[in-house]
Structures are given as C-alpha cells and as structure tokens.
Amino acid sequence: MNRRKLGRTGLAVAEIGIGTEYLHGQPRETVVEVVRGAVEGGVTYFDILWAYPDYLDNLGAALAGLRDRVTLTLHLGPAVSNGQYRLSRDASECEAIFADMLSRLGIDHADVLMVQWVDKEDDYTGLADEAGLLALARSLRDQGKARFIGLSSHVAPVAQAAVLSGDFDVLMFPINPVFDALPGRSHIEELEAEAGARPRGVNVERRRLFQTCAAEGIGLVGMKPFAGGRLFHLAESEKGDLNPVRLLSYALSQAGVSAVVPGVKNRGELDSVLAFLSASGEEREFGEALAGSAWRLEGGCVYCNHCLPCPVGIDVGQALRLAAIADQGMSDDLRAAYAALPAQASECTECGSCAERCPFGVDVIPRMSRAAELFGR
Ligand code: SF4
Ligand code: SF4
C-alpha cells in the first residue's frame, strides 16, 4: 500500500488506516479477524479510541506479535462510567486510564497520543493549564510512553488554533464531502443535524485548516470519510455514485492528508475499504459522482481532475492544490513538488476549457495566475 509521511513525525504510514471505534462490542474473533486482515492488506495505522476494558483486551489479542508492523494512536480523554463512554479532563484519571490501555494492549508506548475531542475554544485553552492534559501528554512523551502528541477535533477554528500553537504533531479531523460543505464552526452534533440541509459551497475554514496542516508539517489524519456512515443511508438519488472507494479517494486527495481512518466493524466492511487498493484510477475518480450527488461543493477545487485534459498538459488539480498550500506558507518541498509537475501554471494559455468542464464552478484561470505568481513559473 502507498505510504505517506505523517507530517513532522517523520513516520511513514499506509494511506489507508483503520479506526477501531466500531470494534467495541464485537466478539474477539471478529476483532482479531479485522485487525489481522487489515495488517495483511497493508494497513499500518490503527486508531484506538476507547478505554473499555474488553475492547482493549480484544485489540491486545489481535495485535499480539504485530507491534513492530503498526503505528498505534491512543487517546487521552476516554473514560468509562457504568459501562458508558465519558470524556475526562482530569489529568490524574487520564494518566491511570492510559497506563491501563498500555497494559491491556500489551505495549509499552503509543506512537501518537491524541488529546481527544477538543471542540470548544475554552476546552482547548484549558488543555494548556499547568495540570492539564497537554502537560500530561508531554510528561508521558518524556517518559518514553508516547512518541508524538496529537489532538482530535471536529471544529475548524479550534483545530486551526491547535495546529498553529506548535504543541501538536498530528491532527485528527473529519474529512468527507458532506462535512466539507457545512459551516466550519459547527459542533459535531450540529454537523449531524445539518447533514440533511443540503448546503452549497466549499467550507472555507475547513479548507484553510487542511492547507495549514500541510504548510505547518502537521500529520493530518482524516476520520469519518463516510460521514459516520450517513452517506450510505441516503437515498440513491441523493448520494449518486458515491461509494467507499470514491469517498476514500476524495479524503486522500485533500491537501495535507497523511492517512484516512475509516471505522469498520467486521470483515465485510474491511473488505469494502481494502477494495480501494485494487480499484482502478477510473473507479477512484470521485468528481463525477460528487457532482451527481445531492451535496454541492461549489466554488472550491476538490482536486478531482475532472476538468482534464488540459491542452498544454497542466495537472490542474495538483497545481491548484500545491498553490493553495503555498498560499499558507511556501516550503522547499512544495517547490520541488511543483517543479515535478508535467507542466507549470505559467504555461496556461487561458483557453478556459478546464473551467467549462469543472462540475464545481471553479474559476480556474485566476487560480492558475496565482499559482504562477507563487511559484514564479
Ligand atoms: S478545477 Fe474543478 S474539475 Fe478541476 S480539479 Fe478542481 S474541482 Fe476538479
Ligand atoms: S485554462 Fe489553462 S489550465 Fe485550463 S485547460 Fe486551458 S491551458 Fe489548461
């Protein structure tokens, strides 16, 4: 499987990871079958979300003997009361829960320690308190119990502040076309409620967040690529030809994404995710399916290349993607990636054929001019 760099951590992770959220409550045989099947399929990145003892014990059994083949993310924040999930911000409680997680999983460290579910601005500022979870995460890292520190959020402005703080190496954030068309300040419950509202237009705050992650070297892990499964419950007329392969392709095409972590609960769901690996370029092509869905991502490039061919050979999606990241901050890596493109934006003859073919109404020519200006060619 193709591997990507997890931002400044330098870790190379397979671009399709697995979220284990829905393995909670599954029998051990299913958990073992899914985890081992995923590793055999080339998956290296696993997100371990909960603190439920049976869930951790099952994952520990599934991961036995595989530690050197996987990158494991554990979370600070999940607690359990009366068998139910509870979000904790108590550092000493979280420290004890984290120790229990390591023990049940049979490992001595997490690769990424993710401060979980930070969606409110006051919650984010509270993390930095002397006795807050950020101090705990740093202490655990200094003790060798975690290699890197991350944060998970569903709210773009909160995540943007975290990314720019320099305190985090990895961001876990939902990436799918439904949420990308919704207001960036929405809390997850609002996102879910609004998922029937059929808004139009790319969400600028979310798009800027992804570009900032790329510019700042933050490993961006896309969660909820299927909008928490909602995309599959829509009527055919609403979802069009969007399927798991195309939705994974969409998430992996967005700026800055290192890996995407669909949640699966059984072998059948794992197989529909791993189908991405054997899918042809045409089967991964999401532009037409997205344009035919009820969701409207108008005005913003989704990097689908539905507008090709360009008569002078410009890779429109890649050129616009690199320019969007460079707008947040230029780097040598960006210059090198741009130089490797088959043709540069300065070669654009302004023929306009790409804009005519773009189903999302992107005004390509001024963006090509901006790309040429940013990269000087
Ligand atoms: S300009 Fe339109 S068709 Fe071309 S890559 Fe962007 S969104 Fe896709
Ligand atoms: S407008 Fe420029 S980028 Fe678009 S197809 Fe024509 S030459 Fe290519």
**Cβ within 8 Å of residue 36, ≥6 positions away:** 62, 66
Give average pLDDT by consecutive 10-residue segment, the chain, 377 residues: 95 98 96 98 97 98 97 97 92 97 98 93 79 93 98 92 94 88 53 52 82 95 86 67 90 95 95 95 88 71 88 95 90 94 96 89 93 95
- Report the distance separating Cα 56 and Cα 43, nearest Å: 19
**Cβ within 8 Å of residue 90, ≥6 positions away:** none
Phi, psi for residue 71 in degrees, rounded to 5: -105, 120
Can you read off the two tokens belonging to residue 373? Answer: 């200006």
Q: What is the pLDDT of residue 295?
A: 66
Which atom of ligand 2 is found nearest the CA of 355? Answer: 4
Cβ 308 under 6 angstroms from ligand 2: no
Q: What is the pLDDT of residue 190?
A: 55
Q: What is the pLDDT of residue 185?
A: 47
Strand extents, DSSP E, the chain: 3-5, 12-14, 18-19, 45-48, 71-76, 78-81, 84-87, 110-115, 146-152, 170-174, 219-223, 257-261
Which ligand is in closest contact with the Cα of 207? 1
Cβ 351 under 6 angstroms from ligand 2: yes
Probe ligand 2: pick from 315, 346, 348, max atoms within 8 Å of CB? Answer: 348
Q: What is the pLDDT of residue 192?
A: 54
Nearest to 48 by CA among 22, 68, 27, 26: 22
Cβ 355 under 6 angstroms from ligand 1: no
Q: Identify the H or E element spanning 56.
A: helix 53-63
Instruction: Answer whether 172's CB lies under 8 Å from 223's CB.
Output: yes
Q: What is the DSSP code string of 88-119?
A: ---HHHHHHHHHHHHHHHT-S-EEEEEEP---
**CA dist 20 → 58, 144, 199 (Å):** 11, 24, 30
Probe ligand 2: pick from 303, 305, 314, max atoms within 8 Å of CB? Answer: 314
Distance of CA 179 to the CA centre of its chain: 12
Q: What is the pLDDT of residue 281?
A: 92
User: Closest residue (by CA) to atom 2 of ligand 1?
Assistant: 358
For the chain, what are the domain ranges? 3-291, 316-375
Cβ 354 under 6 angstroms from ligand 2: yes
Other C-beta atoms lying within 10 Å of the C-beta of residue 136: 20
Residue 350's Cβ-count burial label (10 Å; 0-12, 13-18, 19+) is exposed
Q: What is the pLDDT of residue 330?
A: 92
The CATH topology of domain 3-291 is TIM Barrel (3.20.20)
- Report the distance separating Cα 118 and Cα 76, nearest Å: 11
Q: What is the pLDDT of residue 235?
A: 64
